[in-house]
Structure 1
Amino acid sequence: MTSIDRAFIDSLPKAELHLHIEGTLEPELKLELAQRNGVDIGQSTVEQVRDTYSFTDLTSFLAVYYPAMEVLVTEQDFRDLALAYLRRAAADGVVRAEIFFDPQAHTSRGISFATVIDGLWSAVQEAPSLGIDAALIMCFLRDHSADSAEETLAASLPYRDRIVGVGLDSDERGNPPEKFAAVFAAAKDAGYRLTMHCDIDQEQSIQNIATVLHTIGVERIDHGTNILEDPALVAEAKQRGIGFTCCPVSNSFVTDQMKGAEIAALLREGLKVSIASDDPAYFGGYVSENIAVLAEAQQLTSAEVVLLARNSLESSWASDEKKAQWLRQLEEIAG
């Protein structure tokens, strides 16, 4: 079986394009913030908090994930959360981090949009000191109403210069992409880049993928490995250079396997597949670990691991100048 040296993976400059900042809330920080803000989470030790990070599918994961956010109260909390992630990402060779955040998960419990964005933006501004160029992607919660998404888009516009794009996440069941077609069209008109989750093995997975490609007009698809069910869509995504942000470790928690064969098949078909960590505090693997696990399971070559890094940089929404710089660095390391 192929074994790729972990130090080699860490050394590759890479972009992380599928990372939920709320999903980086490690048990240690959750407990610290709960104590700082006087929030009773029902646990008093790190080990007790870690024991609550238990789930068997997407629905049970979300039932743990959203209540954990109650400890995020102040601007400082959001800054600390993002900086903790950025420090960890830097150790994995991340040079570009495009960070998802879910404002509705916070405004719905009385935290202002300004508190969330100001805290995260403070960390983004500090990211270059860690060797990372960071950006924010605002996600709409698909199990909330389209009206709520429209209100969130309106709230974001005064901060347009701080947000590079919009996405769509949370429970896909009964919440197809067309529910949000109008708000995504408005976001595009406002200058936002577009991505959407098409979670694995969902109801109407292939129809939803077709919708995000043809109706929504996304540039990237988060997860999306079910596209293999339709060769014509695979060919179209390849021709259009659609990015696929895949997360093998989290896949193995919410389904019966990591979808490694499907990810490798898309990569070998020439699609713009990149690897990311999704919600690493809950799934136990940051980006380099995700690449290492996939490489081991699918016997990826060193050249294929380099290709994953190249795809991540090319699929990012960084400037062409920065992408060219990182790609030169990648080629120097890859040899």
Structure 2
Amino acid sequence: MIDFDAIPRERLPALLQAMPKAELHIHIEGSLEPELIFALAQRNGVALPYPDVEALRAAYAFTDLQSFLDIYYAGASVLLKEEDFFDMAMAYFRRAAADNVVRAELFFDPQTHTDRGVPIGTVIGGLIRACDTARRELGVDGALILCFLRHLSEEAALATLEAALPYRDRFIGVGLDSSERGNPPEKFARVFARCSELGLHLVAHAGEEGPPAYIWSALDVLHVERIDHGVACLADPTLVARLAAERVPLTVCPLSNIKLCVYPAMDAHNLAALLDAGLCATVNSDDPAYFGGYINQNFLEAFAALPQLTARHAHRLAANSFEASFADSESKARWLRSLDKVFAEN
């Protein structure tokens, strides 16, 4: 039995970093650091609209989701070859391993690349090779979730799914990302129904900049198993009761929420309220190269700004991440034992 009350608050930073955890909301293209963007641009002969790394990083001053997406897609332009996708994913996996991530379910956006003429097999080939290498060399269990860009049409999403079917065994699920406002989940009802028929796991971004109604639609129209972000749910008590009763996971991204002005500062974030409402909330990094930190930085800054978060909350967030993952039950049980061991020894 872990005595959470006996763990002093000053021990929390070390615990947050040491505890094993799963990352369930990471856009792999969003882990592309400026240094690697410039290295790949040079390797592939791509001209960038920024003179150097410092100028590019200085452009990371976002006012909302769309202002971020504009620079996000520009950065992805350097990804052309299988080796580029491999190098990008391995750079993320090395950081994840250092943060004691034992499971990472990576979002990738094939339309960002196929619309530039990059074959979908090139994208998936590089990413799956990185997953295999990370599992073998770093002990990080990686998996891929193919995301549809919601600002594009459902017809484009259906075409992307068909193009991906030859690689069906390389990804475990599908998601929905990009501009939330004006692109409700029900816009993609047919493609998600098709993915359900194929036995794929289903997730969707909802309730970050969009209203609670988008979370309802993601659940009732798309039939998703997880809600990515979902922080807007607290505005709807009926929705909160449902999410809690059904143990629908929320993949919360604190630094992203601050960077994109969902909350004015971290001390205004509702992470503690989500947990205290009995929700299966998790902590994730979203697009860490753009939003100021990988998963441990998200934990550290949230816990530093929210004094109501305790060791019990830390353990719950990590345990939730394993519960919410699409890993097998044996792996989940093993990771939970490791989690308990870290807390028992501290």
Normalising by the smaller structure, the TM-score range is over 0.9
Structure-2 change in CA distance of 1:153 and 1:259 (3 Å): farther
Contact 1:199–1:223 (8 Å) recurs in 2? yes
Task: Identify the residue that residue 66 of structure 2 maps to in structure 1.
Answer: 59
SS of structure 2 residue aligned to 1:310: helix
1:59-138 → structure 2 map (5 Å cutoff): 59-128=66-135, 129-138=137-146
Which amino acid counterpart does residue 249 of structure 2 have in structure 1? Answer: G
Which amino acid counterpart does residue 145 of structure 1 have in structure 2? Answer: S
Task: Identify the residue that residue 142 of structure 1 maps to in structure 2.
Answer: 150
| 1:237 partnered with 2:246 | no
Q: Following TM superposition, by how much is the alpha carbon of 1:313 offset from its aligned partner in structure 2, in angstroms?
A: 0.8
| 1:223 partnered with 2:229 | yes
Which amino acid counterpart does residue 325 of structure 1 have in structure 2? Answer: R
Contact 1:20–1:101 (8 Å) recurs in 2? yes
Structure-2 change in CA distance of 1:31 and 1:213 (3 Å): same
Q: Aligned partners of 1:292, 1:27: CA distance in 2, in Å?
A: 23
Q: Deviations over 1:145-186 (max 9, x none)?
A: 000000111111111111011100000121100000110010
Structure-2 change in CA distance of 1:222 and 1:4 (3 Å): farther
Structure-2 change in CA distance of 1:187 and 1:50 (3 Å): same
Q: Greater CA deviation, 274-283 or 226-235?
A: 226-235
Q: Following TM superposition, by how much is the alpha carbon of 1:224 offset from its aligned partner in structure 2, in angstroms?
A: 0.7
Q: Aligned partners of 1:260, 1:147: CA distance in 2, in Å?
A: 39
**Given the alignment, which residue of 32, 48, 57 partners 1:50?**
57
Q: Following TM superposition, by how much is the alpha carbon of 1:55 offset from its aligned partner in structure 2, in angstroms?
A: 1.8
Contact 1:251–1:259 (8 Å) recurs in 2? no
Q: Following TM superposition, by how much is the alpha carbon of 1:216 offset from its aligned partner in structure 2, in angstroms?
A: 1.4
Which amino acid counterpart does residue 302 of structure 1 have in structure 2? Answer: A
Task: Identify the residue that residue 256 of structure 2 maps to in structure 1.
Answer: 250
Identity of aligned residues (%): 51
Task: Identify the residue that residue 288 of structure 1 maps to in structure 2.
Answer: 296
1:148-163 → structure 2 map (5 Å cutoff): 148-163=156-171
Contact 2:110–2:123 (8 Å) recurs in 1? yes
Task: Identify the residue that residue 31 of structure 1 maps to in structure 2.
Answer: 38
Q: Deviations over 1:175-232 (max 9, x none)?
A: 1000001100100110110110014232xx1111111112211111011111111111
Which amino acid counterpart does residue 235 of structure 1 have in structure 2? Answer: A
Alignment RMSD (CA, Å):
1.4
| 1:21 partnered with 2:23 | no
Which amino acid counterpart does residue 127 of structure 1 have in structure 2? Answer: A
- Where does structure 2 lack aligned partners over 5 or more consecutive residues? 1-7
Contact 1:246–1:276 (8 Å) recurs in 2? yes
Q: Following TM superposition, by how much is the alpha carbon of 1:296 offset from its aligned partner in structure 2, in angstroms?
A: 1.5
SS of structure 1 residue aligned to 2:282: strand
- Where does structure 1 lack aligned partners over 5 or more consecutive residues? none
Q: Following TM superposition, by how much is the alpha carbon of 1:44 offset from its aligned partner in structure 2, in angstroms?
A: 4.1
Q: Aligned partners of 1:189, 1:197: CA distance in 2, in Å?
A: 21
SS of structure 1 residue aligned to 2:327: coil
SS of structure 2 residue aligned to 1:122: helix
Contact 2:30–2:288 (8 Å) recurs in 1? yes
1:160-199 → structure 2 map (5 Å cutoff): 160-199=168-207
Moved >3 Å (runs of 4+):
1-5, 257-261
